[in-house]
Amino acid sequence: MDRRSFLSDIGITLAVACTGCLAACSKGGTNGPTPPPQGVNFSLDLNTTLQNIGDSLVKSGVIIVRLAAGNDPSSFTAVQAACTHEGTIIGYNTGQGIFICPLHGSEFSKSGTVLVGPASANLRSYTISVVGETLTITG
């Protein structure tokens, strides 16, 4: 192989390698959308958790927030914890009464409706029931 052929072959190889690298790099750094949890069914003891308005916790991929006093299902909300944009765990902002994603700033209502993008899909919400001091999340 002469020098010109060698350099030509190397150039083609590098071009192919760079194309593959760019394709991989364009996907890097993001988790992508996360499917919402299915078949959720767990209970929490309200004597020991979610006692104050604004308290929240994440369990089994669901974020549960106490919105009001009293142990009534309407005192709580439960939605998927992973942002529908790229899967970052959202947080509840008590002052604004909304969920906010810390990565790109998407905002969701208490029930999971998209208010501000870049997320375009609503959060999945879950069924809440309360019996005595036991809160159960299903869905």
Contact residues toward ligand FES (CB under 6 A) are 83, 85-86, 88, 101, 103-104, 106, 118-119
- State whether residue 136 is helix, strand or coil: strand
Q: Which is nearer to ligand FES, 86 or 124 (CB)?
A: 86
CB of 28 to ligand FES, least distance (A): 15
Least separation in angstroms between CB 116 and ligand FES: 9
State the minimum distance, in angstroms, from the CB of residue 83 to ligand FES. 3
Tokens representing 124 are 């999945």
What whole-number distance in Å separates Cα of residue 130 and Cα of residue 126?
13
Whether the link from the prior residue into 33 is cis, omega within 30° of 0, is no
Output 73 or 118, the one with its CB closest to ligand FES: 118
Measured distance CA(69)–CA(49) in Å, rounded: 13
